[in-house]
Structure 1
Amino acid sequence: MKKSAIGLVLAGAVLAPLSAQAETTITVTSFGGGYQEAQKKAYFDAFTAAQSEIAIREDSPTSNAKLKAMVEAGAVDWDLVLTDDSFGLETDAAWLEPIDYTIVNRDKFIDGTTGTYRVAADIEATVLAYNSAEFGDAKPEGFEDFFNTEDFPGLRAAWKYAASGLFETALLADGVAAEDLYPIDVERALAKLDTIKEDLIWWETGAQSEQLLTSGEAAMGLVWVSRALSGADKGVRIDWTDWTSQTGYWVVPKGTKNKEAAMRALEFFTEPAQQIAFTEFMPYGPSNKHAVGSVLPNFAGNLPTDHLDSRVLMDAEWWGVNGAAVDARFQEWLLQ
């Protein structure tokens, strides 16, 4: 499941009514909850209204393990699946169909958001957020201030997950340039985290991160942009000086009987009109570069794609190879 949508996942399938005229029905699987409801409004309903040949059945939640099991058993029930940064890489080729770029226009996407087996659905972010009541007129600026407990005292909320951007944040605050982050210097990052270890408070769900900030228990935190904005009416603010980029990706399971229909839906979902409509409901930026800057007003100015110049793009390939070892070291460090 997508790490940046854990707090939005609901178990069980969500079934949409099917068109009686449809010649093909594809099953689109996503994260459930408010996220998938936004996709339904912006993508799925518009797709079925625009044509009558392909109907959509929705399912949730996403599971990379379930997708793999379906493929290995030769019983693929999903046709188009939303996943997180960790899946859809070249190492996952055994379970996925290559994206058909004769149907999907690769040129329309933001650089770095397409691959052999996946294309981006949206651009998400982990941001530096803070409770404005804690600091008066002072405002933290950049990841260095996450570690600056002298000028910005108080607990720091962080996701208890190695591949959350925490290591990148520590290294950037320690003076490493964004282009030099990989391979991650794990021990240097942990040494930097040692300087605030007693000030760290860990969250494991999006709801927890929001509660920590809105209650004032944490003065600042590294949280998903959706959770930061959800707490805006309680004084939570975002500093966009630095942020780590996550991405939702569409993949097509290997062996689907509806490959062409899935590709047609994927192309439609990532067109500007649908991508812009999605921003009415969720504070995630469009992956289509032609939709950037043309978003609806709900989250204007606070979408990740409004701040691409300060984006720190995480290396999913590196984490795919090294994530287990880094996490083992992280768990060891937590117990020290």
Structure 2
Amino acid sequence: WWWLVWWDTTSFFLADRGWDVFTLHYTVRGPLSTMLEPSMIKYHMLFKRLWALKHVEYVVCSKIWKDMICHAKLLRSMKKDLTAITIPLQFYTSTMIHFIQQIQYYILFEVIECSWMNMLERIEKARALDDILEAHQEFLKDAHDGAFFNLNANIFSTMDSAFSACLKLEKWQQNFYDLCMKELSARKAEEEMIKISGVKGKYGLTADKRLERDQERKLFEECLPKLNCELKVIVKDFETHARTVLLALASSNDHNLQLFGTRLDFNEYYKKRDQNLDAPLTFAKLRVSSMMVRQRNSNNRYNN
């Protein structure tokens, strides 16, 4: 059997882009169709979720981060003017990368990969077709639950809002670097004009050129604080949704989700900024409480 990626024209909207209209379809024949065809919708749903994660990862890791590295070299001469923005931008981007990659790793390896291995073990022990179908349905259920469908759908909805903030950061960064490159080109042109005038024996710029250049520089300097405020709004939106996700994970009865939440906030960056994250029974507290229970049980056995 084989798979095919195709354009989902049935749910196409004018605002959609290439990332939005891709879907996954399995084309199978024979006995495998008995197992896959009834479950095709669930595979479509899983693919959409993983594809959305891959989209955000590509934007943050391959576009935002790489553009940041490239422009850091190009704009080295403007470092003093841009440090107040570029340093926080690097920190915020690193935070987003960690958040996205941990979610992707959890769904792909801790959920889908483990569920797949469990299904293979059950298939090897199967004695009838019904056993195989049951193992496959159990795999899909575990994959969907672990990918934040069903009961945990509200958690991924909040994650999706955090991802939207990451996509907004891409547009913001593009505007920021366009402005910086325009200013850099103007400064280089100014230096070139000064050199040319020096060769001709006319040192410096004319009064009109100097006035024009001063106005351009003033506009550039006025735009930087505005861009900095826009960046803080985007980051605040992202962190608000990230803290909501962490709160939902910490409040979950599933120990795996609680552990996943502690890994998302491994250095307690969000916890230090939100007192609500101290309220629920986190995985660390559960571990301590379970250790205390085991200690009491061992003491009781010793006393008896």
TM-score of the two chains, using structure 1 as the length reference: 0.26
Higher strand share: 1
Higher helix share: 2
Which has the greater radius of gyration? 2
Which is bigger in relative contact order (C-alpha 8 A, separation at least 6)?
A: 1
